[in-house]
């Protein structure tokens, strides 16, 4: 196992479900691609991104959920960047975020994404 991956698992304070379908995550205000969803839980998410981010900064992130996903709305959430490091693929960074103020509707969407696209333990 890659030592960096193991280090990230040790840093994690909550379980996440790894997704097998990488959803695009955009900055809500600009629509610019923030990265691709690597895994998610009710507490936060991890992105694969071409760009690094400033730590301890709150981002307004959006996952577009169209009819393909059986949903009418987008998932928009504030998330604080906790860590950022190079992936084993040097073209990408791995970025860990924790959700800020996730409401019940957001929690329902996260659970839906986990159920529909996540691996089961």
Q: What are the backbone dihedrals phi and psi of residue 33, each rounded to the nearest 5 degrees, phi first?
A: -60, 125
Going by DSSP bridges, is the β-strand pair 44-49/17-18 parallel, antiparallel, or unpaired?
Answer: unpaired
Is the pLDDT at 16 greater than 80, yes or no?
A: no
When pLDDT is cut at 50, 70 and 90, the band that residue 115 belongs to is confident
Between 34 and 1, the more confident residue is: 34
Structural tokens at position 91:
């073209």
Between 109 and 19, the more confident residue is: 109
- The CA-to-CA distance between both ends of the chain, in Å, stands at 19
Supply the mean pLDDT for the chain. 82
* DSSP, residue by residue, 57-103: -EEEEEE---GGGT-SS-EEEEEEEEEEEE-SSTT-EEEEEEEES--
Query: What is the average per-residue pLDDT within 8-29?
Result: 65
Q: Model pTM? A: 0.78
Tell me what pLDDT residue 117 has: 72
Query: What is the average per-residue pLDDT within 78-92?
Result: 96
Segments making up each domain of the chain, as ranges? 16-117
**Domain 16-117 -> CATH class:** mainly beta
């Amino acid at each position: 196992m890659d030592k960096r991956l193991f280090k990230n698992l040790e840093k994690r304070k909550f379980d996440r479900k790894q997704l097998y379908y990488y959803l695009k995550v955009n900055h809500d205000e600009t629509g610019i691609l923030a990265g691709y969803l690597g895994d998610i839980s009710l507490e936060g998410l991890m992105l694969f991104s071409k760009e690094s981010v400033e730590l301890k900064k709150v981002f307004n992130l959006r996952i577009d959920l169209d009819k393909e996903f059986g949903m009418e709305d987008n998932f928009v959430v504030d998330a604080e960047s906790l860590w950022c490091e190079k992936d084993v693929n040097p073209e990408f960074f791995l970025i860990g975020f924790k959700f800020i103020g996730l409401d019940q509707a957001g929690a329902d969407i996260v659970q839906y994404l986990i159920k529909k696209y996540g691996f089961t333990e």
